[in-house]
Structure 1
Amino acid sequence: MVMKSVHRECIEEENKYKWLESEKAGYDLGEGCVYRWVKDHWTGYLRARWVEHLQGKCFWIELSGHDFGLLTRAFHNHAELLDTILNQLKTGAENLDVISWAIANNIPIGPVYEILEALDVNSQRLSHRFEGPPRSSISAA
């Protein structure tokens, strides 16, 4: 099984981005360029790694171990719906976006809820090293 670190691999992506952007500019853009990568690409990068983890392609050590390979074990009876939901999540959609899409397209909401609950995208939010710790959810008093 391939095991990798989201944060370590991210540094490579940041460096590639910084190098390419600096080459275009003709000078070293420095740390600001890395901050721009974080702002523009971190969420999508993390989502893509999360999907690889769910698919069992790569074990990302920062992500939940019990989710590894989940898609190889679940939702075979809703494979097309699962693919559609995953494609939305990979491009930055949130649970509410997916639910709204399902309602607008008359998709049975039960399986959508079941998939979203199992995927639990909100539990897989990681902070980038430049960001603070993940915001805790507000609990009802």
Structure 2
Amino acid sequence: MKLWQTTVSIAGGAIALLGVGLAMTNPGPTAYEDFAVHQLTRYLQTNICQELPPQLRQFSEQCRSLGSTLLDTARPQLQNLIAQNTRRENYLLFSIYRTGFSSPPLPRGYEFETLGVFGQFYIYQMVAEGSGDRNP
């Protein structure tokens, strides 16, 4: 009987410690905005210049260089755009962030769902407007 009580006490303590750790490392909105700006910037740098019409493909390197400079300059506006278009569901131990874009800077509308846990973010769903596709 003592062994059972000791085992249950240790397991309960471990679960409580894990819960406290999750609650303390649940990332907040500012951290999410930084993460989302980084992801959006990376997406725009990679994809927008790749989607140039064939007659302009020779300028893709200049597009990436100029685009990088423009995106660095526009970072505060991008962060504000993300803040305005994001809903946070805070479950104390983790958070779910839903961000939707239906206009520029993306070529079409998207909705992203992101899990924030242990100080990290994981995009687990992306829906392109009008496609019905749900991509992890």
| Bin of the TM-score, shorter chain as denominator length | 0.3 to 0.5
TM-score normalised by L of structure 2: 0.32
TM-score normalised by L of structure 1: 0.31
